Chains A and B, each alone.
Chain A
Amino acid sequence: MLESFQIIISLLDSTIRIATPLIFCAMAGIFSERSGIIDIGLEGKMLLSAFVAATATFLTGSPIFGLFAAILMSCSASLIHGFACITNKGDQVISGLAINILASGLTITLGIALFSRGGQTPPLASEQRFMPIDFPFLDQLSFVPVFGELFVEVISGHNILVYLSVLAVFFTYYVIFKTRFGLRLRAVGEKPEAVDTAGISVIKMRYQSILIAGMLCGLAGAYLSIAHGAGFGREMSAGKGYIALAAMIFGKWNPIPTLFACLLFGFLEALGVRLEGVELIWIGEVPVQVMQALPYVLTVVLLAGFIGKARAPGAIGVPYSKEG
Chain B
Amino acid sequence: MKNSENKGGNEAIASLPPSTESAIELKNITKRFGHVIANSDVNLKVSTGTIHGIVGENGAGKSTLMNILFGLYKPDSGMIFLNGQAVDVNSPEKSIALGIGMVHQHFMLVPTFTVLENAMLGNEGSMLLRSGEEVVLDRLKDLSNNYGLDVDFEAIISDTPVGMQQRVEILKALNRGAKILILDEPTGVLTPQETIGLFDILRSLREQGVTIILITHKLKEIMSITDTVSVMRGGKVVADFSTEKTSPEELAENMVGRKVLLSIKKPTLKVGKPVLEVKNVSHESKDGVLVLKNISFDLKEGEILGIAGVAGNGQSELLDILSGIETLQRGQITVNDKTILPFQDWNSKKAREFGVAHVPEDRHKRGLVLPFHNYENSILGYHRNEDYSSGFLMDKRKILNFVDDLVENFDVRPRSSSISSGKLSGGNQQKLVLAREIESNPNILLVGQPTRGVDIGAIERIYEDLMKLKSKGTAILLVSVELDEIMSLSDRIVVMNQGTIVGETNSSNATELDLGKMMSGLEQV
Partners in one complex: yes
Structural contact, A195 and B129, CB atoms closer than 8 A: no
Query: Does residue B257 face the partner (Cβ distance < 8 Å to A)?
Result: no
Structural contact, B122 and A190, CB atoms closer than 8 A: no
- Closest chain-B Cβ to A138's Cβ sits at a distance in Å of 38
Query: Does residue B392 face the partner (Cβ distance < 8 Å to A)?
Result: no
Structural contact, A197 and B92, CB atoms closer than 8 A: yes
How far, in angstroms, from A195 to B121 measured CA to CA in the complex? Answer: 7
- Could you jot down 17 A-B contacts, CB within 8 Å? A178-B130, A180-B124, A182-B129, A183-B113, A187-B121, A190-B111, A190-B112, A191-B108, A191-B109, A191-B111, A197-B92, A197-B102, A197-B104, A199-B91, A199-B93, A199-B94, A201-B93
Q: Which residues of A contact B124 (CB under 8 A)?
A: 180, 183
Q: Which residues of A contact B129 (CB under 8 A)?
A: 177-180, 182-183
User: Using a Cβ–Cβ cut-off of 8 Å, how many residues does chain A contribute to the interface with B?
Assistant: 24
Q: Which residues of B contact A199 (CB under 8 A)?
A: 91-97, 122, 176
How far, in angstroms, from A187 to B110 measured CA to CA in the complex? Answer: 6
How far, in angstroms, from A130 to B246 measured CA to CA in the complex? Answer: 81
Structural contact, A314 and B112, CB atoms closer than 8 A: yes
Structural contact, B110 and A186, CB atoms closer than 8 A: yes
How far, in angstroms, from A198 to B95 measured CA to CA in the complex? Answer: 10
How far, in angstroms, from A183 to B94 measured CA to CA in the complex? Answer: 21
Structural contact, B73 and A200, CB atoms closer than 8 A: no
Given contacts A194-B121, A199-B93, A323-B73, contact A179 B109 (CB under 8 A): no
- Closest chain-B Cβ to A89's Cβ sits at a distance in Å of 17
Instruction: Determine the residue in chain A with the shortest Cβ distance to B175.
Output: A198
Given contacts A183-B129, A194-B110, A199-B93, contact A322 B72 (CB under 8 A): yes
Structural contact, B110 and A190, CB atoms closer than 8 A: yes
Q: Which residues of A contact B93 (CB under 8 A)?
A: 199-201
How far, in angstroms, from A197 to B184 measured CA to CA in the complex? Answer: 14
Instruction: Determine the residue in chain A with the shortest Cβ distance to B93.
Output: A199
Structural contact, A194 and B112, CB atoms closer than 8 A: no
Q: Which residues of B contact A198 (CB under 8 A)?
A: 92, 96, 108, 121-122, 172, 176
Instruction: Determine the residue in chain B with the shortest Cβ distance to A191.
Output: B110
Q: Which residues of B contact A181 (CB under 8 A)?
A: 127
Query: Does residue B132 face the partner (Cβ distance < 8 Å to A)?
Result: yes
How far, in angstroms, from A177 to B112 measured CA to CA in the complex? Answer: 13
How far, in angstroms, from A62 to B429 measured CA to CA in the complex? Answer: 69
Instruction: Determine the residue in chain B with the shortest Cβ distance to A177.
Output: B129
Q: Which residues of B contact A322 (CB under 8 A)?
A: 72-73
Query: Which residues of A, 304-324, contact B by the 8 Å Cβ criterion?
Result: 314, 322-323
User: Using a Cβ–Cβ cut-off of 8 Å, how many residues does chain B contribute to the interface with A?
Assistant: 34
How far, in angstroms, from A89 to B40 measured CA to CA in the complex? Answer: 30
The interface centre, meaning the residue of B104, B122, B130 with most chain A CB atoms within 10 A of its CB, is B122
- Closest chain-B Cβ to A105's Cβ sits at a distance in Å of 39
Q: Which residues of A contact B176 (CB under 8 A)?
A: 198-199
Beyond the given A191-B110, A193-B108, A199-B122, could you list 5 further A-B residue pairs with CB under 8 A, ordered by the A residue number? A178-B129, A194-B109, A198-B108, A199-B95, A323-B33
The interface centre, meaning the residue of A177, A187, A199 with most chain B CB atoms within 10 A of its CB, is A199
Structural contact, A196 and B92, CB atoms closer than 8 A: yes
Query: Does residue B126 face the partner (Cβ distance < 8 Å to A)?
Result: yes
Query: Does residue B58 face the partner (Cβ distance < 8 Å to A)?
Result: no
How far, in angstroms, from A184 to B118 measured CA to CA in the complex? Answer: 10
Closest 7 CB pairs of A and B: A198-B122, A199-B93, A194-B108, A199-B96, A180-B124, A197-B108, A199-B92
Q: Which residues of B contact A190 (CB under 8 A)?
A: 110-113
Query: Which residues of B, 375-392, contact A by the 8 Å Cβ criterion?
Result: none
Q: Which residues of A contact B112 (CB under 8 A)?
A: 186, 190, 314
- Closest chain-A Cβ to B186's Cβ sits at a distance in Å of 15
- Closest chain-B Cβ to A133's Cβ sits at a distance in Å of 31
Q: Which residues of B contact A179 (CB under 8 A)?
A: 127-129
Query: Does residue B117 face the partner (Cβ distance < 8 Å to A)?
Result: yes
Query: Which residues of A, 145-193, contact B by the 8 Å Cβ criterion?
Result: 177-184, 186-187, 190-191, 193
How far, in angstroms, from A11 to B411 measured CA to CA in the complex? Answer: 77
Q: Which residues of B contact A180 (CB under 8 A)?
A: 124, 126-129, 132
Instruction: Determine the residue in chain A with the shortest Cβ distance to B125.
Output: A180
- Closest chain-B Cβ to A322's Cβ sits at a distance in Å of 6
Q: Which residues of A contact B97 (CB under 8 A)?
A: 199
Structural contact, A183 and B108, CB atoms closer than 8 A: no
How far, in angstroms, from A195 to B73 measured CA to CA in the complex? Answer: 16
- Closest chain-B Cβ to A173's Cβ sits at a distance in Å of 13
Instruction: Determine the residue in chain B with the shortest Cβ distance to A189.
Output: B110
The interface centre, meaning the residue of B94, B106, B112, B121 with most chain A CB atoms within 10 A of its CB, is B121
Instruction: Determine the residue in chain B with the shortest Cβ distance to A188.
Output: B110
- Cross-interface CB contact of B122 among A191, A200, A323, cutoff 8 Å: A200
Q: Mark B31-49, 1 if CB is under 8 A from A, else 0.
A: 0010000000000000000
Query: Which residues of A, 96-148, contact B by the 8 Å Cβ criterion?
Result: none
Q: Which residues of A contact B106 (CB under 8 A)?
A: 193
Q: Which residues of A contact B172 (CB under 8 A)?
A: 198
Q: Which residues of A contact B104 (CB under 8 A)?
A: 193, 197
Q: Which residues of A contact B121 (CB under 8 A)?
A: 183-184, 187, 194-195, 198, 200
Structural contact, A187 and B126, CB atoms closer than 8 A: no
Instruction: Determine the residue in chain B with the shortest Cβ distance to A313.
Output: B112
Instruction: Determine the residue in chain B with the shortest Cβ distance to A309.
Output: B287
Structural contact, A187 and B127, CB atoms closer than 8 A: no
- Closest chain-A Cβ to B152's Cβ sits at a distance in Å of 19
Structural contact, B113 and A187, CB atoms closer than 8 A: yes
Structural contact, B128 and A178, CB atoms closer than 8 A: yes
How far, in angstroms, from A184 to B72 measured CA to CA in the complex? Answer: 19
How far, in angstroms, from A112 to B392 measured CA to CA in the complex? Answer: 61
- Closest chain-A Cβ to B494's Cβ sits at a distance in Å of 34
How far, in angstroms, from A20 to B125 measured CA to CA in the complex? Answer: 36
The interface centre, meaning the residue of A190, A197, A201 with most chain B CB atoms within 10 A of its CB, is A197
